Amino acid sequence: MLPRAFRRIAAQLALALGLVLAMPSTFGEITSESQLKAAYLVNFLKYVEWPGTRSTVSICLFGRDSLGPYLASYEGRQIIGRELRIRKVSTPDQLTDCQVLFIPDTEEARIGAILRWVDRQPILTVSDVETFVRDGGAIALIRNDGRLQFDVNADAIGRANLKASSQMLRLARQVTGAAR
């Protein structure tokens, strides 16, 4: 059996490689934080299980989004055997076909209301607001020591009837809730 530290490093390398391979080649060598956030959103689809089956999978961008241009190149790709769709949403009735809902920091004042809209629905909520996990969201994208990392709220994922892979939980900077 490999030492735990070695397994963690190997898992981090695997996720990093997945992120790099998922990045469209049109991004070139310089990668912005927004491009990395977009790649994380796409890759989260590979590490979370949703109930039921569908022919498509949707990443929904709430309100004034800045990631749309970076996610556009992923539109129509096959992710976990399903066609990826990217949609902008601004009201609760538009959330019905979302698997991932990204709430940008520009919508921080509305996070409580948005989380109530999706409560107990199979939607993975992700934001770049640092307090998002504490506020009840599932995943917060955090800038830490010059790197983009993520925190996970396992209770929020469970309430959404989703299952995060153990590999994703190991790679998180911090996991709160029942998973650890």
| Domain extent listing, the chain | 4-176
Shortest CA distance to 37 belongs to which of 175, 142, 107, 169? 142
How many other C-beta atoms lie within 10 A of the C-beta of residue 83? Answer: 14
What's residue 60's pLDDT?
97
Give average pLDDT by consecutive 10-residue segment, the chain, 180 residues: 49 46 41 92 95 89 90 93 94 92 95 94 96 97 93 96 95 83
CA-CA distance, 36 to 124, in Å (whole number)? 18
**Each residue's pLDDT tens digit, 120-150:** 999 999 999 999 999 999 999 999 888 999 9
What's residue 65's pLDDT?
76
Against a cut of 0.75, is the pTM above it?
yes
Shortest CA distance to 59 belongs to which of 98, 4, 108? 98
What are the Cα distances from residue 78, in Å, to 56, 99, 115?
9, 15, 28
CATH number listed for the domain at residues 4-176: 3.40.50.2300
